[in-house]
Amino acid sequence: MDNISVLIVDDSSVMRKIVERSLRQAGIEVGQVYEAGNGLEALAVLNEQKVNLVLCDINMPGMDGLEFVKQLPGVENAKGVPVVMITTEGSEGHVVQALSAGARGYIRKPFTADQVKEHIVPVLAGNL
């Protein structure tokens, strides 16, 4: 998929930049990038914009990543849009919770560009 539009949700602006850079380093052609600092801001973005991929942290103030993912079925622009969690919360329980809530992938911080590629490319290809 060429020039995908991405929504990156993380309360750290530095981490949002790292995630964007990692996507590019992974060879994923990134077009428009939207950023949000928590789940509420991300929902506001999705009410206005359609994206191809959402990358989302879990621990955030306001609305956390798991709650955000649970809210997505009610957002028209989010229908069919894959969500991949990128988080320090690496327990199996968190992975299960995220996948049960509707996330399509899970990347633990710290991560490499190769791990980003390994998890995101199949999701974008519709194989996960």
Partner 1 sequence: MSISKTDTDAANRREYWAPLLELSAQEVFALMLGDKLELAPEPTVLDSLDVTSMVGLAGSLCGLLSVRCSSQCAALMATKMLGADAEGAKGQMEDAVGEVCNMVAGNFKNKISGISESCKLSVPTVITGSNYSLCTLADDYTMEISLLFHGNPVVISLQLN
Q: Whose Cβ is closer to partner 1: residue 46's or residue 86's?
A: 86
Distance CA 46, CA 27 (A): 25
Distance CA 59, CA 127 (A): 27
Shortest separation between residue 124's beta carbon and partner 1, angstroms: 22
Q: C-alpha angle 127/40/105, rounded to 5°?
A: 20
Shortest separation between residue 107's beta carbon and partner 1, angstroms: 12
Q: Whose Cβ is closer to partner 1: residue 81's or residue 95's?
A: 95
Q: Whose Cβ is closer to partner 1: residue 36's or residue 78's?
A: 36
Sheet order of strands, 30-36 included: 30-36, 4-9, 53-56, 83-87, 105-108
Shortest separation between residue 74's beta carbon and partner 1, angstroms: 26
Interface with partner 1 (CB under 8 A): 11-15, 17-18, 21, 59-61, 87-94, 108-112
Shortest separation between residue 61's beta carbon and partner 1, angstroms: 6
Q: Whose Cβ is closer to partner 1: residue 55's or residue 60's?
A: 60
Which residues of the chain form beta strands (DSSP E)? 4-9, 30-36, 53-56, 83-87, 105-108
Q: Which residue has the tokens 């919770």?
A: 97
